[in-house]
Amino acid sequence: MLTLLGLAITLAFNTLGVRDTAHQATETKRATQLSLFTQLDQELNGSVRSLEGLHVGVSGHLTTAQRDVLHHAYDDLNYTAWLFNHGYLTLPGSKALVFSRLCEGYRNAIYFGGTSRMTEVRKTVGANPHCNGKIA
């Protein structure tokens, strides 16, 4: 009887240890995602500012430097959307925080003909009619 009691106590402590380890793993994942999201958010802010800072002449043609700025911004936006689309960023509310910037970048890509670089962004915002219109 004493052996069974000892076995039951050991099993109970092992179960609690496994549950605690799983909880710690979940918290570590959240902390890692939060750190990644914070860095991405800063990068997205820079990308959106660079898009807003583009001044296209009357001809509507982009210089090589302007095109490089666009491509860098599009790549940042597309990478962020990829992280959401493939389950690497799952923090509650995080997608909503960046959605308007993804949408703005996609509308910009429609205007400048760069949507081929934004396949993941299109998956994220493409169903939203506001995101599919050209920017003014």
Per-residue pLDDT of the chain (136 residues; tens, 9 = 90+): 778 777 788 888 788 777 777 778 888 888 888 888 888 888 888 887 887 777 665 556 778 888 888 888 889 899 999 999 999 888 888 888 889 889 888 888 888 888 888 899 999 887 777 776 644 3
In a domain, 124, yes or no: yes
pLDDT of residue 136: 38
For residues 114 and 117, what is the distance between their CA atoms, to the nearest angstrom?
6
In a domain, 123, yes or no: yes
Number of domains making up the chain = 1
pLDDT of residue 81: 92
pLDDT of residue 82: 93
In terms of residue numbers, what domain contains 113?
33-132
